[in-house]
Chain A
Amino acid sequence: MKINDNDKISPLQYTLLIAATLIGAGILSMPRGVVEEAGSDGWLAAIGGGLMSIFITYFIHKLALMFPQDTFVVFSQKILGRWLGLLLSMIYVVYYFLFSALEVRILGDVSNVYLLNRTPFEFLMFAYLWVTIIATRNGIEGIGRLCMLFFPITLILSLLIGLFMYPKLDFTHLLPILHTPWQNVTHAIFLTSLSYLGFEIVLFLVPSLKKPQEALKNAVIGICIITGLYTFFVIINTALFGIDEIKSITWPTISYIKMIEFPGQILERFESILLAIWATTAFTTSIVFTYLAAYITAQITGFREFKPILYFMMPFIYLVAFIPAHVDHTAAMGDFIGKYGLIFISATTILLLLVAKIRKKGMHQ
């Protein structure tokens, strides 16, 4: 029996793939970031970030669906010519490469602090990266199935942890509403972009979709789920800690989870379980990005298989993950990728759309 179904993913898998790619390491620190910038209106920034992502996603899908048979690597060359197209694809490789290194690094940082403090950091990262590579080996279909497996667990547990702490939440911390200057809210929206990046994967996945015509709808549903989840997390974290206190907590969501207590002390230190679940969400993100980095490289270089490239890339991802010297640098690296990633993605999308229109390439609806 052949398990491999020609490397295609179903619409549901695509929705969950988008959702699982978006939700990653950012969920732990994002509540602090937005509240620092936007105060009690932090949750509005989370919604704003989601809306912005949907807006950009619309154009990305429009562009990608003009060439249902090709990935970005091919159609950017068709639109802009060989060299410029290749250059853009290569920037995408660097972006995914850095992003997956960052995810692995944050995964390592958090587990080093909370789960395995005496395990050598180098080994921890090696093990994580190895798992990522193993999961990536079987291509996009395997990844899609993985997301179907993991994401519902993440979603249900996230809602449950909100419920567990309900009696302790003080929603007056969210007041005053709409009082923060709009510049701060806008800035906070851009800060969330790192947490929302990943919606552009369709550029490389169109040929792998079973039903490309439904892609936009599916992607928007995926982003909406994540927007809801992020907003929910910002709200419960603010309601528990208060605006003044949340600013001084490195990973508010973990501190939140650590405060969960079951009556009768049946389950103490519940956070170990939840952190393990969180690790899977960070994994799905890094898996998708590692896959794309290798896949795009394969397409650029004309390799038929991406696996050799994957193994070749692994030591480099490992090394790049060690570049940040401490937590501060990791955050700065995250902000850097988030900011320039977003600018690059929006700019290239608009550029390609315009040039394609002018040069009359691709299919126009």
Chain B
Amino acid sequence: MDFKRCISMILCMIMALCLMGCWDQKEIEHRGMVFSTGIDKLIETEDEQKKYLISFEMPILSGGGETGGGVLEKPWILATTGNTVFEAVRQADIRSERPLFFAQNKVLVIGEEIAQQEDIRMMLDFFLRDHELTRNMNVFIVKGTALEVLNVVPYFSDSVGDYLRTLSRVKYKSSRFRATELSCLVEDLKRNGSALVSRVIPSSAGDEVKLAGAAVIKNNRLVGWLGEIENRGTLFIQDKVEGGSIVVSCPICSELGERAETITFEINNVSSKKEVDIRGGKIKFGIVINVEGTIQEHSGWQYHDLLEQEYIRRMEKVVATEITREVQAANNKLQQEFAVDVLGYGSYLKKTHPDFWEEIEEQWNETFFPQVEVDIHSNVMIRRIGTAT
């Protein structure tokens, strides 16, 4: 082998050495996968002024082998304190021999107390800025503390993070809860500091949680709650209802009119449309909600046959009235009690009447929004009656 060949071979080897990028090589079992993060208010015990008590849920992953991998034990709930979220993350890093890794963190739970007292947008900043995290993370506000929720050991799922995330996907089964994605939440907060966030309630026994209703955020702070039915009303306005059942007490079901029977209506398909009328300086919104669904239960079966056309039409009216009432109630609560525009009236105006919006933008929240007239109309169509008449 001549000299030139020898040199080129050595060069090739050096180049091959340079071209492998293993600086960042990190085996999966050396990472502390965080599945969910909880933020609570720190009950002051020390002199130090720390704001947050932050807990990370890290499932203990086995390294494969004979068990075939997977989760074996109860996840480790690592709770640390910090003045900012990232400070707490770094505090956790020096307590966990596997450095925290956030790419799988899909759930953020915020405690009630801290949400009332601190700016929520500030807490979210880390989750928006860090490159490991994604914006499709689900955000929940707990009625109670976040730690309570993280400490739940779910029966089916491997971790609370997985549990909550799976629950927030069953929108087609119920509309009594809402799922809030980080990206939508910050978008709302950016607009006027207000938003609706999904609420999670831990059970007193500590073995399950329930998604129910919504938390109302105003000026980046938690100001109150919406109940389950009210939440459904808001979802109707936002056109986000995908399913769920409505129980209607129905006087016409009973022949004699002596007692009200109940019918259970299941929502299959909803589309709602907004329109706005600004003539004469008065802002008037019209919302039309079109609902299609199925009758799932009918207690007045001894009086009426569900194959009667006329009867079905009357029933549709009863359900429509109920939906209108629900939506009206939810809307009034947000408009009068909380005086917070979380249902996107302002942004709708901005999109459709930009010139008018520019005039009133400054005074929208205080002056205009509480005065806005909202006219709600719903149409119901019963498509199916199930397998009994």
Contact = CB atoms under 8 A, between A and B. Distances in A.
B190 A259 contact: no
Contacts of A268: 103-104
A176 B128 CA distance: 27
Interface in A316-341: none
Interface in A98-128: 113-120, 123-124, 126-127
Given A116-B24, A259-B134, A261-B136, A127 B187 contact: no
A235 to B, nearest CB: 15
Interface string B89-130: 000000000000001100000000000000000000000100
B186 interface: yes
Interface string B177-207: 0000001001100110000000000000000
A259 B183 contact: yes
B134 A258 contact: yes
Given A176-B354, A179-B354, 16 more contacts: A40-B351, A114-B131, A120-B23, A123-B23, A126-B18, A127-B18, A127-B19, A179-B355, A242-B191, A244-B190, A248-B128, A248-B190, A259-B134, A259-B136, A268-B104, A269-B103
B336 to A, nearest CB: 26
A131 to B, nearest CB: 9
B21 interface: yes
A29 interface: no
Contact of A172 (B18, B23, B134, B351): B351
A115 B103 CA distance: 12
Interface in B1-55: 18-19, 21, 23-24
A255 B127 CA distance: 12
Interface in A4-29: none
Given A175-B351, A259-B135, A240 B183 contact: yes
B83 interface: no
Contacts of B190: 242, 244-245, 248
A241 interface: yes
Interface of B: 18-19, 21, 23-24, 103-104, 128, 131, 134-136, 183, 186-187, 190-191, 350-352, 354-355
Contacts, number: 59
A240 B351 CA distance: 16
A248 B134 CA distance: 15
A242 B103 CA distance: 24
Nearest to B23: A119
A255 B135 contact: yes
B186, B187, B355 pick with most chain A CB within 10 angstroms: B187
Contacts of B134: 258-259
A241 B135 CA distance: 10
Contacts of A126: 18
A40 B350 CA distance: 11
Given A113-B131, A248-B190, A118 B354 contact: no
Nearest to B344: A172
**Would you list the 6 A-B pairs with minimal beta carbon distance, nearest first?**
A175-B351, A119-B23, A245-B187, A244-B190, A176-B354, A242-B187
Contacts of A40: 351
A119, A244, A268 pick with most chain B CB within 10 angstroms: A244
**Which size bracket describes the interface of A in this complex?**
20 to 34
B19, B104, B136, B191 pick with most chain A CB within 10 angstroms: B136
Contacts of B183: 240-241, 245, 259
A112 B354 CA distance: 41
Nearest to B191: A244
Given A176-B352, A241-B187, A269-B103, A258 B135 contact: yes
Nearest to A254: B131
A119 B104 contact: no
Given A172-B351, A240-B183, A244-B190, A116 B135 contact: no
A40 B357 CA distance: 15
Interface string A251-264: 00001001101000
Contacts of A116: 21, 23-24
Contacts of B23: 116, 118-120, 123
A99 to B, nearest CB: 25
Contacts of B135: 255, 258-259
A269 B136 CA distance: 12
Nearest to B192: A244
B220 to A, nearest CB: 14
A33 B73 CA distance: 48
A116 B23 CA distance: 8
A90 to B, nearest CB: 33
A114 to B, nearest CB: 5
Interface string A208-243: 000000000000000000000000000000001110
Contacts of B103: 268-269
Contacts of B24: 115-119
A119 B131 CA distance: 15
A126 B14 CA distance: 14
Nearest to B130: A113
A246 to B, nearest CB: 9
Contacts of A117: 24, 131
A268 B18 CA distance: 29
26 contacts: A40-B351, A113-B131, A114-B131, A115-B24, A117-B131, A118-B23, A119-B21, A119-B23, A119-B24, A124-B21, A126-B18, A127-B19, A176-B352, A179-B354, A241-B187, A242-B187, A244-B191, A245-B183, A245-B190, A258-B135, A258-B136, A259-B135, A259-B136, A259-B183, A268-B103, A268-B104
B23, B128, B191 pick with most chain A CB within 10 angstroms: B23
B187 A244 contact: yes
Interface string A45-65: 000000000000000000000
A344 B298 CA distance: 78
A267 B187 CA distance: 27
B37 to A, nearest CB: 17
Contacts of A245: 183, 186-187, 190
Contacts of B355: 179
